[in-house]
Amino acid sequence: MNIAQKAFQTYRKHLASKLAIAFSFTVFVLASLAIGLLGSYLFVLLVPIIILPIYICLQLTNSSFAKGMPLSQRNFFAFYKVAFTPTLNGAYQVISSFLKAALIYFGLSFVVIFIMLQVYLTNDASFAQEFQGITALITNGMYQNALQAYEENATVLFISTVASLISGGLSLLAFMHFIGRNSIVPHLALSMSALPGKIAYSVHRQGLKVFKSEFNGDYYRASWLAAPIILIGFAGGVLATYFFTSNTYLILLSGFAGAFILLTPFLPYFLDVVEELFKKYKDRYLRVSIDQATRVYEEIKVAQQLSEEQQKELDKLINDLKNQSENKKVDNQSDDDSYEE
């Protein structure tokens, strides 16, 4: 069986429990979005405090069902504190993912506004004249008057709103894609207790340099459905509020809510896909971690930056990684063979 088939088999076996925890995650997301109505900064603050830790609870609980863990709120929230340990610190690369998504948002906004302005300026003489008037106010330093004219111009507001919604939907998709791709890193970090999350992420990146093509093929074949689900859910949320308010921020939050609601039943399957990917590639990650640790060790030794005690600790780490690789070699080979069938 391939990755998708194995993941769906696990998903179907524990369907009720998986849907229950996915629903719990979505409730927390919706509550955070509701709090975000009081200010965008509040929602941003809640991502590392609420949303990411609850996502970790979802991922680890989802993985534990196959190991026999029963469904309960206590078991679900038991993983909350793990989110704040060095083992998962930096594993999901939330800050860099957010910054990349923000760049996509502003870049797309600029492109969409530019294209729509050119279309309206070319085909609407009345708007062209109005826009020229706003430009003249800005040129003459009358910024307050220009802002008022901007806010009162229906066409300009429409262009701005459309640009924000298109950019918002695609930047949300990009952000969730970045986090989804990095969701394999916690499995890597937790499988090697000596590795902090940031180092595990580095091993993940180094590993992709070796088997990126094969990994991407497995990942996208099994999870491609997430993209249309997110975009359709976002569009549904936008349409639910677009005709009732002119507040672009409120419409965006409604779009985010729609995306997460529609994504809810798909999330446990996606996390099963991530776990199956780790099972297939874990021995290759181990080899990469050994090579990386050895290389860093040699560089530090040359620079004479280690004490004798630190050298012993690093020697022990490298030996432990090698032992893990040897102990899992036979099992991992059988896993690879099953995926190739």
Q: Spell out the domain ranges in the chain.
A: 3-92+183-340
Predicted TM-score (pTM) of this structure: 0.84
Per-residue pLDDT of the chain (341 residues; tens, 9 = 90+): 899 999 999 999 999 999 999 999 999 999 999 998 888 778 888 888 899 999 999 999 998 887 888 888 888 888 898 888 888 888 899 999 999 999 999 999 999 999 999 999 899 888 888 888 888 888 887 888 888 888 788 888 899 999 999 999 999 999 999 999 999 999 988 887 656 788 888 888 888 888 999 999 999 999 999 999 999 999 999 999 998 988 899 999 999 999 999 999 999 999 999 999 999 998 888 887 777 666 655 655 555 555 666 566 666 666 666 666 566 554 545 545 544 44
How many Cα atoms are found within 13 Å in the side-chain-facing hemisphere of 69? 19
